[in-house]
Structure 1
Amino acid sequence: MVDYYAQTGRRHVKSFAKKKDAVAFEAKTRIEVNGKVHVADSETVTVAEAGKLWLESCDGLERSTVAQYTQHLNLHIAPFIGKKKLTEITIPAVRAFLDTLKAEGRSAAMVRAVRVSLGSMLSDAQEQGLIATNAVKDMGRKKGRTKAAARHKEQIQVGVDIPTPAEVKAMLAAAAGKPRVFIMTAVLTGMRASELRGLRWVDVNLSKAEVTVRQRADAYHEIGSPKSAKGRRKIPLPANLVAALKEWQKECPSGELGLVFPSGTGNIEFHANITKRWYHPPQIAAGVSVNTGELDKDGKPVVAPKYSGLHALRHFYASWLINRPEDGGLGLPPKVVQDRMGHSSIQMTLDVYSHLFPKGDDASTMDDAASALLG
């Protein structure tokens, strides 16, 4: 048994099955008491209770973010460690929890996301004085394992993750009306799908050939601010896109929100409708597709769009900004690419697209430089 007084002056007694555990607890507690950060078991709450407090403190965050946190708590955290006291959430306990999630069939991406949510919840509990340390933060990242995983992670590739110029041309040739203008706007502005869904005509200056990103529409059809401060930006428009938008403006359904790409009733269009009705059909019609390996009722192969997500069009825009003019691009420097994409940092731009930037050491350039050096 460990009999001690906390920094509050209150006496506490804690029993252990093994002496070595009691000794370890006493040593740790003495340091925490001296640092005035110790939290006794009787003064803390369970993980499930801390989770409820954490969600209550999430006021002001987007509904989709809060919904994701709630899902992580209710489906992944509470069922396994919800009854544990916060003081029991040590580094070994966190490791065991994450291993359990993997064993229960959670994907690697889900385990990472739940770990982030657990760390956020423990930080909130730490601020409320319910726990002395955050085991998730103390756990840190295993650098060796992170580097090993990074070695196997392939960079985004043209023709795999990024449509080729020929594929974009084919898509546009197969599209008409609103879908064509939408795809054209996506590939020539690089706007996020949420930004395109929330784009208003008042933010499109056709005379100056530029669009100003001021808002976006979230998954719950609510208009909100861009993803980050850098998300507020101006994007120049090519002349052919300006002409297409002028023609579309004459046919665009009107609504109170004044959206550029609304539903037929003038409201915010569902993301799924844009993907399935505007984006996928032109790909399949243009042959930008893949064989699913299945057969339809007539015995013919079933094909699916090669690029399922709209983010591929945003990737294309980034590659178009980066590619050299002789390769059909603009050849812009990384900082300008960051501004046009609305990335929160240049590091994000380089992490995703650095391999696409010209290296400047192709054979002819390198030979000329070597000749100048060596005379």
Structure 2
Amino acid sequence: MSIRKREWTTPGGVKKSAWVVDYSDTTGKRRLKTFSRKKDADQFAATASVEVREGIHVADSASVTVATAGKLWIASGENAGLERSTIKQRKTHLDYHLVPLIGATLLSKLTVPAVREFEDRMRIEGRSPAMRKKVLTSLGSILADAAERGLATRNPVRDIRGTRKGRDRRQEKRQKGRVEVGVDIPTREEIKALLGALDAHWRPLLITAVFTGMRSSELRGLAWKEVDFKRGEITVNQRADQFGEIGPPKSEAGVRVIPVPPIVINALREHRLQQSKLAHLVFGNPDGGPRSHSNIVNKGLKPAMKRAGVTVTTGEIDKDGNPIVEAKYTGLHSLRHFYASWLINRKEDGGLGLPTKMVQERLGHASIVMTMDVYGHLFPRTDDGTELAQAANILLS
């Protein structure tokens, strides 16, 4: 590998110079790369020398753009049988965020400063912190896929994440915050009002959601064969994705058995009598397919919240001068949060008082860390002043 200065005169009589790095790549092919400054040429030569020796160097002329690598990444996901929702998310990140901003950038030129600049552009153009994080994760995945194909040698996203790990975790906790009763979690009084306001059509589904904490996809994919009326249990073995396709839960922890109270069993018995004997799904459409998530929320949950008086004002008024209200809790996940709090609360407070591990299993969390990160502050404290005094007296006696 050599570095030499090249000088020439343009047709207009202007003298110019550049620094040329002359080297052979990992395949033995001769490569020339030109720089305006010797400092840059020296830096490239030092890096390329190591990469060639380790057999991982990719020349600019052999590299591909982020857009091209992104298409290969999507193809890899399709070949691996990833869910349609995952493929759709990959395409969205590529088409609406990556290609418009850095799609023409060669992977060989994608450095840590270049990725930082990309982050800044996303922020300036109004992408939310959550979206910026997701898109950056996708870019890192694209680079990892490209490295396996021999199209990239470095992953600057991984390098950035390595230096930010602790800071990002702290920032994420600050942004996410803790779920709070009355804000994210319906109160016991609000749930009682909601249950009293349910109409016959939506009552079985929403009662099941309240007393099982099942995810929307799990409710929509629940089959009658998984409902054990005698034992009072529901088994979660499958779910329906956003396209209505039935498949297994995303993780092994999602497969679980949930004991349910008589109110759920009775509601499901009545619901079964009104359905066709050929119906496969518990909460399916008339055609037998899964209901959509938006249908459940917009036609079932929100109207019931309004009837129950579980609302907040929008700050606007109607044509008669009355304040306009909307449902206080606008997602099925609020019912899942309530179920978690019900499992955690002490028996004297109307809860089940279950230990952390059982709460994790009932919710289908992949790890107990996830359970504690979201709900840890809801568990009753056992280190109040009285108990501390008793412990100290026993220790010193």
Which TM bucket (shorter chain)? over 0.9
Aligned partner of 2:262 among 217, 225, 239: 239
Of 183, 192, 197, the residue aligned with 1:174 is 197
Larger mean CA deviation between 148-157 and 306-315 belongs to 148-157
Instruction: Quote how far apart the aligned CAs of 1:4 are.
Output: 1.1
Q: 1:159 aligns with which of 161, 173, 182?
A: 182
Whose radius of gyration is greater, 1 or 2? 2
Q: What's the counterpart of residue 204 of structure 1?
A: 227
Tell me the distance in 1 between the aligned counterparts of 2:62 and 2:72: 15
Q: How far apart in 2 are the matches of 1:283 and 1:362?
A: 37
Is the 8 Å Cα contact of residues 46 and 83 (structure 1) preserved in structure 2?
yes
- Paired position in structure 1 for 2:283: 261
Letter of the 2:196 counterpart: A
Q: Aligned-pair distance for 1:148?
A: 4.6
Deviation at 1:153, TM superposition (A): 4.2
- Tell whether the 8 Å contact from 2:203 to 2:267 is kept in structure 1 after alignment: no
* SS class of match (1:15): strand
Contact 1:171–1:286 under 8 Å retained in 2: yes
Q: 1:299 to 1:264 in 2, by over 3 A?
A: farther
8 Å CA contact 1:252, 1:261 repeated in 2: no
- What is the RMSD of the two structures over their aligned residues, measured on CA atoms? 1.5
Q: Which residue of 1 aligns with 2:311?
A: 289
Q: Pick which of 346-355 and 197-206 moved more.
A: 346-355
- Shift in Å, 1:365: 2.2
Of the candidates 86, 111, 114, which is equivalent to residue 90 of structure 1? Answer: 111
Residue 309 in 1 paired to residue 327 in 2? no
Q: Deviations over 1:249-293 (max 9, x none)?
A: 11135655x111122443211211100111111111111110001
Report which stretch shifted further, 173-182 or 96-105: 173-182
Does 1:336 find its partner at 2:336? no
Return the TM-score normalized by structure 2.
0.91
Tell me the equivalent position of 2:5: none
Partner of 1:13: 32
Range with bigger deviation, 164-173 or 242-251: 242-251
Which of 84, 90, 100 is the matching residue for 2:121? 100
**Whole-angstrom CA distance in 2 between matches of 1:51 and 1:229:** 29
CA-CA distance at 1:366 after TM superposition? 2.5
1:44 aligned to 2:63? yes
Q: How many residues align?
A: 374
Distance 1:145 1:344, change over 3 A: closer
Local SS of the residue matching 1:58: helix
* Alpha carbons 1:197, 1:217 under 8 Å: kept: yes
Q: Could you list the runs of 4 or more consecutive aligned residues of structure 1 that deviate by over 4 angstroms after TM superposition?
A: 253-256
Q: Which moved more, 1:15-24 or 1:137-146?
A: 137-146
- Maintained 8 Å contact 1:292/1:302: yes
C-alpha separation between the residues in 2 aligned to 1:305 and 1:97?
38
Say whether the 8 Å CA contact 1:253–1:262 is kept in structure 2: no
**Aligned to 2:77, what secondary structure does the other structure show?**
coil
Match of 2:139 in 1: 118
**2:84 partner amino acid:** R
